[in-house]
Amino acid sequence: MERSVALTALVAGFLALGASVLRVWTHAVAVFGFGDARSWDTLRLIALQSRWGQSWRYQAIAAGVYTLACAATLWRREFWPAATLAVVGFTGTIPLLGHAAGDPARMAVHTLHIVAAGVWLGTLAVVLLLRSPGRIRLLILRRFAPIAIPGAAVVAGAGLIASWYYVGAISNLWITPYGRVLLLKTMLVAGISVCGYINWRRLRRMRGEGGFSIVVLEATLAGAVVVATGFLTEIGHP
């Protein structure tokens, strides 16, 4: 089971590296258009010579270190603390390419928000991806609740602080594109919270291996939250 977790983390690292490369190309498309974005000179300008590229390089390097650390856990379990630190370090580079760039307080809030979301929803996704018998997964989910509840609380608190930073007037929640996407994200998180509460009540009573449908729904809504967050990072805030 530990090897299964390590493989999941390693796949996530490769996905992070691939997304970093793809992000350079999409940024080049946004700046120069689709035709010119295929040029190596254009990609080099974006990745190596621009201010945006400097922050991007930090993120790409952090993704590479994280991937190597996760690969090392397949070799020796003593590398798990290093992999954990690498994950947190990579998370800290994500705000460098978003609205929080250049503001240490906002970057700290974003980093806390993402780490807490990983503790809560990321752990849930890993549990569902584990190659283990249903009864073992049930036991893990039962013990996951004391971790999920504080993670959800930190997500909500950091999210409220970030909303105060970016939304401004309450009316901006429904009159601006940023506010409307934020409302959608908030509703999705509320749905996840309801699912989490139902799961917690059901898992305490369950004795068999079934009944994971609400857990799967919770993880699916979490995926939708990630997509909504991606849109938020690219929409200008009020």
Q: Of 43, 77, 97, which closes a domain?
A: 97
Q: Assess whether 108 and 92 both reside in one domain.
A: no
Per-residue pLDDT tens digits for 2-37? 888 899 999 999 999 999 989 899 888 988 888 888
Query: What pLDDT, on a 0 to 100 scale, did the predictor assign at position 212?
Result: 66
Name residue 176's amino acid: T
Residues 53 and 78 in one domain: yes
C-alpha 90/C-alpha 93 separation (Å) is 5
Report H helices in the chain: 2-32, 40-44, 51-73, 80-93, 104-117, 123-129, 134-166, 172-175, 177-205, 213-234
Q: Are residues 125 and 234 in the same domain?
A: yes
Angle between helices 104-117 and 134-166 in degrees, nearest 10: 160
If asked whether residues 68 and 152 sit together in one domain, one would say no
Residue 120 and residue 86 in one domain: no
Q: Which of 54, 72, 97 is the last residue of a domain?
A: 97
Q: Choose among 199, 202, 233, 205: nearest CA to 217.
A: 199
List the domain range (segments joined by +) for residue 179: 104-238
What are the tens digits of pLDDT across the range 75-120? 888 999 999 999 999 999 999 988 888 889 999 999 999 999 999 8
Which pTM was predicted? Answer: 0.84
Nearest CA to 122 out of 226, 17, 228 is that of: 226
Among the three residues 46, 81, 97, which one is the final residue of a domain in this structure?
Answer: 97
Domain count, the chain: 2
Same domain, 192 and 234: yes
